[in-house]
Amino acid sequence: MRNKANLRRGEKGQILVWVIAIMVLAALVISPFLASAYTTLHTSSVRQERMQELYAADTGIEDALQWLISEGNNITITKPGNPTLPPGNYSTTATATYTLTDTVNNCQVDVTVARDLRPPEKGNYTYRVDATATNKDNHAHVTVRVYVSPTGDWSTWSKQPGPPQIIVSPNPSNNPFCYAMGSLKDEFEVDLKQSDVTGDVYVNGPLNLIGGNNRVDGNVYSVGDLTLSEGSIVKGNVSVTGNLVLEQQAIIEGNAWGNKSITVDCGNGIWGYAFAQADINVSSSDGSIGRSAYANNNVNVTGTINQSAFAHNSITGSGTIEGWARYVNNLEPTVQVGSSQQLTEGEWVALVGTVPQPKMPQFGPAPSNPEAVYIGNASTGPTLPSQQIKGKNPVPLGPCVIEGNLEVKDTLMLTGTVYVTGTLTLDNGCVVTTGTTTPDTPAVLVADGLVHIYGNVVAQVDQAMPLIMSVNSDIICWNNSVIHAALFAPNGTVWVHNGAQVDGAIVAKKISALKDNGQTKKTIIVYNPAVQNIPGLPYANIEGPPETHEEPTDVDVESRQPFGLNVDSYIVLE
């Protein structure tokens, strides 16, 4: 019994064996499990960080593509560091790099946009965009690369230069009485000094707008050279068969055409386009051409051409061309240009063709004796000796021939053509009236000699306009004359001086409109279409004034499809 009891007491501690066995077994099983769990958790964390870096890099790609599309549609976006997108040169590669301003998923994102050439079968080019996201904690990084090709038209550099819109000179009228001022004879000139002209001006010879602050509110045509200086302004277009020179703050607000050279040697300059058969010179640093310049020879620029320059020869100087510089022979590196393109002769012909020449009036043949018709009309009336018109009541006169002189001191009522073989004097304070608002009969004063017009009013504005003519001499409009008439001196000069005002038209061999020093009033000449209603004017078949010039569209503006991108490939780089 005692042995059995002892045996039972000997079983004490057996549970320990089982516990140890279980612990050994647990150790063998749990350790690999924990290791596996740790590995799984770590891998998941790394994968998540990698995905965050990948998402950050994708953000850089999207930012670069948006930049490309925006700039391609003429929407300017500034990037950190002000990088410039690759220029549109199809024969070279170029890059632009920047860093996103903000971190993305705790990553710094660096972006590179490159211009790559493509195989011929793929088109002209692709863009390669790389975005690298770098984790700021552990410096791990991932790079994403995409290749994209453009669709549509890039608004500036990625489109090929298109054909410019050549602007032709407006068609002028072919009748001199459709101009505020029209000079007829070769080798004679028109001088303007401190004068205002409303209407178009035609000069069959040189034209000088000198002496300060001349203003022509219309188009100007000059068969010869034209010089504008001392603040002179032409509000319309200018066409010359000789050289055109602007100096001392002169301005042409329209376009300019020249059969020789055009020179801007002053501030301001030409606001529109310039077309020259020889050179175009912007020789003053503050001079400018507001639109584009087309030269059949060279373009020399020290100032600024605000759009493009086209030279059939070379482009030289140290100035600025904001748009395209297109040339056949040479572009000096000292010229600052927006874009440049050297043309072959064939490309010049295809792109520009012929630089347009100025269109000039083509007057019909003038009668050899334009006064003959008027003398004939006057001869239907009596022949009178020299006359002096004065008194309170209007004195009717015409048709008649006056052998001698005619002096009008008060009111003359023209009832027909009056031909004066001597001198015609319209004295201070006189009035010439036609007595009617309709030109039923020619209201013409013709003098074989000199015509003097002194002060105050000649002709009433509310009545039909008369014609005042000197056959072989001059017409002189003295200080402060106010004249409502057409003035015609086919073999002499019309002088309009010191505050004189002409409401009508002036046609003469030579015209001089000047203001002497010390005079306060400017000379004013205003074209009045009522001139066209005067019966029996020379140069029959009166036409309307020159065509109104419509503003052209800018050169290089083409119809274009919105710019977009196609993603050709997407690559994740380690």
**Domain residue ranges of the chain, discontinuous segments joined by +:** 54-160, 176-351, 372-507+515-533
- Kindly tell me if the per-residue pLDDT of 276 is higher than 90: yes
C-alpha closest to that of 308 among 337, 282, 330: 337
C-alpha closest to that of 243 among 217, 202, 281: 281
Count of other CB atoms within 10 angstroms of residue 369: 12
| DSSP reduced 3-state for 76 | coil
Over residues 193-205, the mean pLDDT reads 80
pLDDT of residue 561: 55
pLDDT tens digits for range 139-174: 778 888 888 877 765 544 333 444 455 556 566 777
- For 66, the enclosing helix (H) or strand (E) is helix 14-72
pLDDT of residue 157: 39
- Kindly tell me if the per-residue pLDDT of 43 is higher than 80: no
My answer on whether omega of the bond before 385 falls inside 30° of 0, hence cis, is: no
| DSSP reduced 3-state for 181 | strand
Query: Which residue type occupies 268?
Result: N
pLDDT tens digits for range 457-468: 566 656 677 889
559 CB-contact burial (10 Å; exposed 0-12 / middle 13-18 / buried 19+)? exposed
Question: Which band of pLDDT confidence, cut at 50, 70 and 90, is reported for residue 389?
Answer: confident
pLDDT of residue 474: 93
pLDDT of residue 210: 62
pLDDT of residue 139: 75
- Kindly tell me if the per-residue pLDDT of 87 is higher than 80: no
Over residues 359-373, the mean pLDDT reads 69
Distance CA 74, CA 458 (A): 60
Question: Which band of pLDDT confidence, cut at 50, 70 and 90, is reported for residue 554?
Answer: very low
**Hey, which of 191-195, 209-213, 297-301, 334-338 has the most confident mean pLDDT?**
297-301
Distance CA 376, CA 488 (A): 17
pLDDT of residue 221: 87
Sequence-separated (6 or more) residues with CB below 8 Å from residue 452: 423, 424, 425, 426, 476, 478
pLDDT tens digits for range 481-503: 888 888 998 888 888 877 788 88
pLDDT tens digits for range 213-248: 778 888 988 888 888 887 888 998 999 989 999 988
- Kindly tell me if the per-residue pLDDT of 119 is higher than 70: no
Question: Which band of pLDDT confidence, cut at 50, 70 and 90, is reported for residue 289?
Answer: very high
Q: What are the structure tokens assigned to 351, written together?
A: 């792109």
pLDDT of residue 252: 92
- Give me the percent of the chain exceeding a pLDDT of 70: 71
Question: Which band of pLDDT confidence, cut at 50, 70 and 90, is reported for residue 78?
Answer: confident
Q: What are the structure tokens assigned to 300, written together?
A: 């020399």
C-alpha closest to that of 531 among 567, 483, 493: 483
pLDDT of residue 141: 82
Distances, alpha carbon 60 to alpha carbons 79, 97, 99, 134, 567, in Å:
12, 11, 9, 12, 15
Question: Which band of pLDDT confidence, cut at 50, 70 and 90, is reported for residue 8?
Answer: low
Sequence-separated (6 or more) residues with CB below 8 Å from residue 211: 192, 193, 194, 230, 514, 515
Distance CA 422, CA 451 (A): 9
pLDDT of residue 339: 81
Across 106-115, 383-392, 535-544, least confident range: 535-544
pLDDT tens digits for range 503-548: 889 988 888 876 665 555 778 888 888 887 777 777 655 444 444 4
C-alpha closest to that of 528 among 198, 195, 191, 176: 198
- Kindly tell me if the per-residue pLDDT of 306 is higher than 60: yes
pLDDT of residue 365: 56
Distance CA 231, CA 249 (A): 5
- Give me the percent of the chain exceeding a pLDDT of 90: 19
Q: What are the structure tokens assigned to 479, written together?
A: 């200080």
**Hey, which of 27-41, 276-290, 528-542 has the most confident mean pLDDT?**
276-290
Return left, alpha or beta for 440; rule: phi > 0 is left, psi -120 to 50 is alpha, else beta: alpha
Helices and strands (H and E) in the chain: how many: 4, 47
- Kindly tell me if the per-residue pLDDT of 254 is higher than 70: yes
Distance of CA 168 to the CA centre of its chain: 14
Sequence-separated (6 or more) residues with CB below 8 Å from residue 125: 90, 115, 116, 117, 118, 149, 150
- Global pTM value: 0.66
Distances, alpha carbon 260 to alpha carbons 98, 167, 248, 267, 327, in Å:
50, 18, 21, 21, 19
69 phi and psi angles, rounded to 5 deg: -65, -40
206 CB-contact burial (10 Å; exposed 0-12 / middle 13-18 / buried 19+)? buried
| DSSP reduced 3-state for 549 | coil
- List the beta strands (DSSP E) in 213-255: 215-217, 220-222, 226-228, 233-234, 238-240, 244-247, 251-252
pLDDT of residue 552: 43
Q: What are the structure tokens assigned to 328, written together?
A: 């056949």
Question: Which band of pLDDT confidence, cut at 50, 70 and 90, is reported for residue 385?
Answer: very high
Specify the residue for token string 């590196």: 333
CB 443 within 8 A of CB 464: yes
Distance CA 411, CA 37 (A): 122
Distance CA 454, CA 480 (A): 8
Sequence-separated (6 or more) residues with CB below 8 Å from residue 482: 455, 456, 457, 458, 500, 501, 503
Count of other CB atoms within 10 angstroms of residue 295: 27
Query: Which residue type occupies 363?
Result: F
